[in-house]
Structure 1
């Protein structure tokens, strides 16, 4: 591969070839026709991404591998709104935030979920999704009610360029003084390695150190 954008180039090529062929054969090369068939409803889109299949030899396989996952499906729906500008999408407020280690780390570092936990990071994902559904209620994003999908990209960047610099044991963050989310930063241990998490955090009494 030319730009080293993929960690698994052969697998990714097969995935996107399958998705591309699906859109070509079933939707005449126009993904909008698929979205129209879903009534532009975000929840229906996610359901179809998970469940639609086609026959390949003697077995049935997913029409949309990769897109069918809980993280990428939600992310794709958000990209359709934010990057493609599809304003007709419905029920976006019911779409769970796509969660990966970055979104998880930023959620824990800002104290949206805090306390003690030790085990699989995946076990926290559903709690993180539910926490963001609740946390954005009553907030506004410019001229509309905020939804969980609105905080996906900011959380990812917060972790990638901020929270991952925290000391895993003490919670000391060398970039805290320059961080716009510093007022929400919690103290304590946040250790994420592969799919393992160890959490022992508590709310700061003071606003800034």
Structure 2
């Protein structure tokens, strides 16, 4: 598709989203609003995001709210406590409200991510981790996707990592340096919407790692010089696909 035509369609989608025309415009993480305390939100978002892989996001975040509200399980969102807790206690707490679904893998991931956060921050929390790199995305990528990748399973993957950056910006008011480095998070809905717009061929619908990289790269090139960061189009594309691709019209 010719670039100007693509950008026109993208801007139309953004307008449709802003006007509530894409339906289902409540995002999964919205259930945290006015429930999780502001100073705790960044830890809750980060730890829960580490399990947001191949599962229903709406169900995950609803479970997170239940666990947060329960005095018996709220501690699972404190990285310092989690990093020092017995894995069996963590397993029981994660499974109680179905924050974790896999009894072995999910507690292991949660435990490792919490330890990774504590090791990377003098404060032992996500805010400290981000402040240690002075809100610089490239430095954070180097830590979480390269030098310390094994400490951040799932969260270090390109899809979840970039969406995590976007979520922290959107819900926890994190102001990133060089936010244009936040690439689009190519999940199934993004792949479908990208093909629907004609930016990539149907081959990317296979959904492999290379396909996702192809889509992310295509969006970076397509939006270069447009004033839009790739992640800015994520939610409109995601909702458009989820709504079954209604016509691109703005009333």
Q: TM-score range, shorter-chain basis?
A: 0.5 to 0.7
Q: CA RMSD for the aligned pairs?
A: 2.6
TM-score, normalised via structure 2 length:
0.53
The residue aligned with 2:166 is 78
Distance 1:32 1:70 in 2: 21
Q: Within 5 A, what are the aligned runs for 1:109-124? A: 109-114=196-201, 117=203, 120-122=206-208, 123-124=210-211
The residue aligned with 1:34 is 129
Distance 2:105 2:162 in 1: 21
- What's the CA shift for 1:96? 1.9
Task: Detail structure 1 runs of 4+ shifted over 6 Å in the superposition.
Answer: none
Q: Within 5 A, what are the aligned runs for 1:55-204? A: 62-87=150-175, 89-114=176-201, 117=203, 120-122=206-208, 123-139=210-226, 145-163=227-245, 179=246, 182-183=247-248
**Which structure has the greater CA radius of gyration?**
1
Q: How many residue pairs were aligned?
A: 153
The secondary structure found in structure 1 opposite 2:104 is helix
The secondary structure found in structure 1 opposite 2:173 is coil
- What's the CA shift for 1:68? 0.8
| 1:110 to 1:9, Cα distance in 2 relative to 1, 3 A | farther
- What's the CA shift for 1:126? 2.2
- What's the CA shift for 1:81? 0.9
The answer for unaligned runs of 5 or more in structure 2 is 1-94
Q: Which structure has more helix as a fraction of its residues?
A: 2
